[in-house]
Structure formats: structure tokens, C-alpha cells
Structure 1
């Protein structure tokens, strides 16, 4: 992760030969999820009744048989759809069950050869009857980078690499209803890919009416899902698992990233929307052609170019809103420009800043989120007074257990746990300990030690003299019985006791026994004399 930091700092990279992870794919092409509608067997009921697609921003996939059913006798209706950007995929020659003694080379390879001879780019297959085994998968893999099966809810996630020879689909049958398929599309909108398997449209078998399929595609579009062909979404997903792991090699004025295609039959073109760490202020190019950034700072690159170059003068790392005065509060989202290492590249796309490293909405402002272990963020401090400072962190986690972060300045550091409150929007103020800081400019680093922690702010409090103030407060009537209550900085009562004392200092010395080191609020008072509140610290 340190090597990533070097790409952001205005330092020479000559000593570092390679570093990992500068490219991160934006999930589902910038949509909340994806949806693919597939139509099996090559039926004219499909081409006759899907003409409404001409007026929609949606592309579908037709899996056709080359030796049986309508496509085999008249392929032109389906080829007309292919000219409009829809996909023609392989459904074998004769629609045989491939696990029951079929000639796999003839059924799979023969159909692929036939379709390619028509000028089609055939990269995907759907197994007839969804029947397959290891031998069938191996045969499919020789000609296609992806295969569609069925049998489940048809949902595939973004983070875990699937079995490319068995992508699930949601099978529409005669007894199916629109409501259940809308429910699946709702689930897709939370970061998944939904694949729907259809056969006849207003005719043939396993019929879906024209009205119902139109309703479902329109619903997917209304949910802002990426409605694209099986190979388009599948290739985007598969490319993500390759390019996000690609390493960069430093050049004299930037770096180059190279990768290998994950399959010989990937589509010829796989546009990817990506974030490129270290590219801000520089020129991104592929095969000598400049790639301009999108309005949100992402880039749309060509995965099948298999390389990318970033060149130009090093970017300047500087305080985002000026050096942060200490004592004071460090807003976590105000890290120095490009001074971070962010593993997954996700964010709420708040638009708060261009070098967005996981900024989320937090309370009335912003916070850091989508964090991963070993992520870090750096801040320029302007310490006005040398001394010891209490460090308080406001953070949240929905993890099942507490998660930790480290705050360091130079060789001094404190580590603390953020308690789990069941979600990422319930924040807790936690005292991390003390840091002794010299006066002047210096750099703070916030390091994430556990996945999935939100950090809102880090506060540095000058508490010098806190206990001395308490020592000066003597009780009017000398030594007396004093009722003391001790609270942590979150307002939780941690101890209550009656002690004989002649001053607040004496009361604190008696009641602090057994407490952990740190700062507290002590409420104390003599019987019938009212109560007082003072901040105290146990060294």
C-alpha cells in the first residue's frame, strides 16, 4: 500500500519498479446494478414481438440454434436485431442435452463456426435444458468466455468471482408472474446482475406476453439498471477481476499498467469505466491515443487494449483546505490532495472533491467510508502549541464486532477501537489516547486496520492543566462526605462512589481507583450543597 502513496506524493518514483492496484473498475458501468434479458431457441415470436426495443435504451441477447427451430430456416430477423446492437449467442446446433452423449465438438463448436461465418462475434453460450457437467463446461470454455445456466434467482454479485461456465438465470415459465421478477430486479439494484431466461414471446412455449416483457424491461430501465447484453455485462464483470489486480510499472514521468485477457474469446471490445489513482493532472493514453476523463473524474478505457499509460509531471500533494490548526478538529474527508491509499475505490459520489477516496454522507456533512484494511489518509497539521493532546475519534461501523483505526504523527501513534452499533450511520466518540506533538507543520496519518469503518472526524484536545484545576477547588466545610459520579466522554456512567475528601482533587484521587487511563467527567458534591462538574484525566 505504501507504494500507492508514492504515486500521489510529489516524490521521485525511480526507486520503485512496480506497485499494485492503481486501476479500480466502477461497478456495473456506474449503475446501481445490471439486468440482462435473454431469449432462447431462435424463435420468430421473439423477433416479431420485441420491436418496442427500437425505442428503448436496452439491448438483449438471443441464444439461437443453428440446426433446428426458426433461426435455422430463416436467420434474417435475428440478424437484423444484431445490426442494432443486440447479441446473438450460441445455443448449439440441435438443442441436445449435452450431458447425454452429444457430440460436444459438433454441437458447440459447429454452431459457433456457423454463426461466426455469418459475421457475428459469438462469445457466449447457453446450454440447452441448462444441462451441464465438468466435461460440458470444458467444451464450452474452448469456444466461449461465458455460459448461461439456470435454476436459481438469476443474481450474480460484483465482489466474488463466479463460475463463468455457469452464470445463473431466472427462468420465466408459463406459471411465472411479473411481481416476482420485479422483486429480482429490485435486488439487482443493490449491486447485483440479474439475468432473465425467456423463450416464446406471445407464442411458442414458456410464453411471456409482449406486455409483460415490455413491463419488465421498462422497470429495469426505471431502476437505472444497466440493461445490456449477456456478453457485454459478463465481459465487464470478468475484466474487473483482471484489471483491478493489475500492477503498474513506473516510467520516467508516470507509470504503465499492463494486463492479460482472461480468455481467448473475450469480446473484441470491452469498454470499462474505471478510477485511476495517480492520474489526476496527468495524461492517460492507450496505444498512443489520449483518454479524456469523464465529468466525474473516472475514465472509460478499452480493456482489450491490454495496457494503459499515465504520463506527465507529478501531482502536488497539498492541504485540501489549508493546514489544520491544532488544537482543533480534523474532518476526515479533508485529507490532503491525493494523499491516500484507497483499495476499493467506492464512494457515494457526493461530488465533494475530485480525488474522492470513499467519501460518504455523514450527519449534516461528509465522512470517510467504504474503507478497507490498510487504507490510509494523510493530513497536514499546524500545531500551535507543543504538548500532549487527547485524541478523540468519531467513527461508526456496522460490523458485528468493534473495528480499529490508528492515528499517527511521525513515530508517535495511538490505536483505538470503534464500537459496533449495528450500522454505519450511528457514530460514537471514542478517546484514542494521547499524542505528544511538537509545534509547527507536520503530517497526520489515519490508518484503517479493519474493513468497513466510517470516520467522521479526529479531535485534538489540549488538556494540560485539567487535573490542576480540580486540585484548586477546596470544599467550604473542609473534609466531608462527597458523592462522586464519573462519566466517560460519551456520557456513560462508569463509576459512582461516596468518599471523604476536602477538595475535588482529593475526591478524584480516591474515586479514580480501578479506572482505565484517559479523560473523564466527574460530577461531585457535598450532601445538601449542590453539585459541580469538572474534567479530569487519569495519566
Structure 2
């Protein structure tokens, strides 16, 4: 809070004013994240974001064909300001949990060692740096799974990553965010109206809202229609004076600055 007071004095604004616009001078922050390096992210999502002047966070699973077969396209996306985030090499998920029969036994996170998941994430960081030249990186937990056995594997990776995104649908104010389990709302065939209602709530409560997209107009069972996605982007653009739309790496950097 002392750093916030000093910032307010420097900028000549009151604490009350800051409380109403705590997110880089705006009411709330919205992060648009897209998981799994799908072709539709390059074909559909990025053009929609570019047309509005927004930057998204794209969580890359390094072995997926939507990444390996389109390296130059991802490099161009990064050059235009989109974040390439770490989503592991092989997208392991915990097959011991209910409803996880679909998990490939070779990618069963419950059978991983702490060393294996740690090294897989570190290698993915190196791979992504070779594409975008950047060292600051955020991470998204595959299937929202954050543990190997009883161990929270991010504990040993905080020096490698700026933040990590989960899939628990919640919003939090500036001073109540766990950067290494940043909550996100999974979008699953949601309407534009439902998504914009979440944005309105974030504006009213001065909180961080993170969307978790997979398919955008197809290519994944967790999908959002092009029309609904377009409606959300249009709403964000219409209310840009009140909403800070930014990649998670920028939001994480902002939050870390507030704590100094």
C-alpha cells in the first residue's frame, strides 16, 4: 500500500480515485488466453485481436502440430505483441482424477516425477525463447493440474516464470491475486452475452478477469463461436477507456511492481 500511496502522490491523484481505477489507470483488467497452439488461434483469434489493437496470451504446447508446423506464423504473432506462454511440451494431465480416461498413459501427470515436469517446462521456455527472443514468460497449468503427487510443482519454477494461470473461475482485486495460480474462466460454447456480463462484473468490482479459450470457431471440444468471440472483442473495444486488455505477462509485471 505504501508504494500505491507514493504513486498516487507522484501522479497527483487521490487514493479514492486509484481505488476506482487500480488497473493501470482503468477499472479492471481483462486477459484473453488461448490454450494448446491451435490453428484457429492463428487463423481466427489473432486477426480478430489485431483488428481491435489487442494483444492476447497464447499458451503453447511445444510438441503440438499447430505449433511445430507453423513456427513462422507464431514468430510473426509474437512480433506483433502477442504473448507466447508455456503450456509444457506434451500437455500432461492427471489421469487419476475422475473423467480423465482420455489421458494418454505416456502423458499421465500422476506418473510424472517432480524432476520430469520441471525439466519439461524449462525446455519449453528455451523453445519459446528461440521463437520470440523473450525471457519473461507465464505458464498455464495443463487441465488446471498444479501438482505431482502432493507437490505443487510451481514452487521450484518461480525463478523461471512470471506467473501461472489456472482454471478456477474467479475474479480478484489487485491485492488478492496469487500470481502463481491466477484464476481463469474456461469458455465452453458460451454466448457473447455471457462473456460480456463477466466483463461488466469485473468493471463493477475492479478485478482481474482472465478468459481461457481453446477452440475459436472449431478445432477443439471446448469451443467458442466466431460470432461470440467477435462480440466480446467488440465490447472490450467499446469500453477500452475503462478496461485494460493486456497479455498476462504484462499484468504480472504490473502486479509485481505494485508490491515493491
Verify same fold: TM over 0.5: yes
CA distance in structure 1 between the partners assigned to 2:136 and 2:258 by the alignment? 21
Structure with greater contact order relative to length (CA < 8 Å, sep ≥ 6): 2
Residue 169, structure 1, aligned to residue 168, structure 2: no
- In the TM superposition, what whole-angstrom CA distance separates every residue of 1:371-413 from its partner, at most 9, and x where no partner exists? xxxxxxxxxxxxxxxxxxxxxxxxxxxxxxxxxxxxxxxxxxx
Residue 181, structure 1, aligned to residue 195, structure 2: yes
Cα offset, 1:20, TM superposition? 11
The answer (yes or no) to whether the contact 2:23–2:244 under 8 Å persists in 1 is yes
Cα offset, 1:21, TM superposition? 5.3
Q: 1:41 to 1:20 in 2, by over 3 A?
A: closer
Instruction: Could you tell me which runs of 5 or more consecutive residues in structure 2 were left unpaired when the two chains were aligned.
Output: 12-17, 95-108
The answer (yes or no) to whether the contact 1:89–1:122 under 8 Å persists in 2 is no
CA distance in structure 2 between the partners assigned to 1:20 and 1:185 by the alignment? 25
CA distance in structure 2 between the partners assigned to 1:234 and 1:111 by the alignment? 20
Q: 1:156 to 1:78 in 2, by over 3 A?
A: farther
Secondary structure of 2:224's aligned partner: coil
CA distance in structure 1 between the partners assigned to 2:71 and 2:88 by the alignment? 15
What TM-score, normalized by structure 2, do the two folds share? 0.78
Cα offset, 1:227, TM superposition? 0.8
Cα offset, 1:77, TM superposition? 1.7
Query: Greater strand percent: which structure?
Result: 1
Alignment of 1:385-464 (within 5 A): none
Alignment of 1:78-89 (within 5 A): 78-89=74-85
* Counterpart position of 2:155: 138
* Counterpart position of 2:217: 202
* Counterpart position of 1:214: 230
Residue 63, structure 1, aligned to residue 81, structure 2: no
The answer (yes or no) to whether the contact 1:150–1:168 under 8 Å persists in 2 is yes
Alignment of 1:111-260 (within 5 A): 111-118=124-131, 119-133=133-147, 134-153=151-170, 155-160=171-176, 162-174=177-189, 176-190=190-204, 191-205=206-220, 206-223=222-239, 224-242=242-260
Cα offset, 1:129, TM superposition? 0.3
Aligned CA RMSD, in angstroms, stands at: 2.2
- In the TM superposition, what whole-angstrom CA distance separates every residue of 1:344-365 from its partner, at most 9, and x where no partner exists? xxxxxxxxxxxxxxxxxxxxxx
Aligned residues: 222
Alignment of 1:285-296 (within 5 A): none
Query: Greater helix percent: which structure?
Result: 2
The answer (yes or no) to whether the contact 1:66–1:114 under 8 Å persists in 2 is yes
Residue 101, structure 1, aligned to residue 101, structure 2: no
The answer (yes or no) to whether the contact 1:148–1:165 under 8 Å persists in 2 is yes
- In the TM superposition, what whole-angstrom CA distance separates every residue of 1:228-262 from its partner, at most 9, and x where no partner exists? 111111221221122xxxxxxxxxxxxxxxxxxxx
Secondary structure of 1:29's aligned partner: coil
The answer (yes or no) to whether the contact 1:40–1:62 under 8 Å persists in 2 is yes
The answer (yes or no) to whether the contact 2:199–2:209 under 8 Å persists in 1 is yes
What TM-score, normalized by structure 1, do the two folds share? 0.39
Instruction: Could you tell me which runs of 5 or more consecutive residues in structure 1 were left unpaired when the two chains were aligned.
Output: 5-18, 243-539
* Counterpart position of 1:33: 28
